[in-house]
Structure 1
């Protein structure tokens, strides 16, 4: 979860809760709730603010692994094709939402730049 990752990076950077909250322009109590996993689903805006304040890419806070383009694309596509027909309408909507996030991330920061930000 994001809370443990935020706290871990904050501690590595020797920032207090108050300092990070001020830098990220969010309430200290809200940051505390995120770090203690009381708030487990902060908005993208909050994740971006925290990432900027901690000087890391948002993917780092989300513990997303960034892989080289082209590696395993055929395997990924085959996996998606084999499972897509078994998904119900809610699962298809979740898949579409996930794809929208990936597209948003790609447009926000080119994948080739992600390796330099971590």
Structure 2
């Protein structure tokens, strides 16, 4: 049995665009009831990469933002909008 999906902290300080991307990827993934593994598989990316994106640990290329957006079925610009 897998653990319930937990969304991002709504009180999180979104200082950088990387923080905004992290927040939006996680929020959208949880909203669509996807695990990091399922999102990674659908986007053709490793689960650990998705985890690093959601924790704002890495600088993500535009190509990978596009892949994540396609897997989440949202416009790439949506992942970069401040909530």
TM bracket (short chain): 0.7 to 0.9
Q: Which is higher, the Rg of structure 1 or of structure 2?
A: 1
Question: Residues of 1 paired with 2:22 and 2:44: CA distance?
Answer: 17
Q: 1:7, CA displacement in angstroms?
A: 0.2
Q: Across the two proteins, how many residue pairs are aligned to each other?
A: 63
What is the aligned partner in structure 2 of residue 92 from structure 1?
A: none
What is the aligned partner in structure 2 of residue 58 from structure 1?
A: 76
What is the aligned partner in structure 2 of residue 17 from structure 1?
A: 36
What is the aligned partner in structure 2 of residue 114 from structure 1?
A: none
RMSD: 1.0
Greater per-residue helix proportion: 1
Per-residue CA distance 1:42-75 (angstroms, 9 max, x = gap): 00110000000000000000117xxxxxxxxxxx
Structure 1 residue 46 corresponds to structure 2 residue 70: no
In the superposition, the TM-score normalised over structure 2's length comes to 0.73
Unaligned 5+ segments in structure 1 are 65-118
What is the aligned partner in structure 2 of residue 32 from structure 1?
A: 51
Q: Which runs of 4+ in 1 moved over 3 A?
A: none
Q: 1:11, CA displacement in angstroms?
A: 0.2
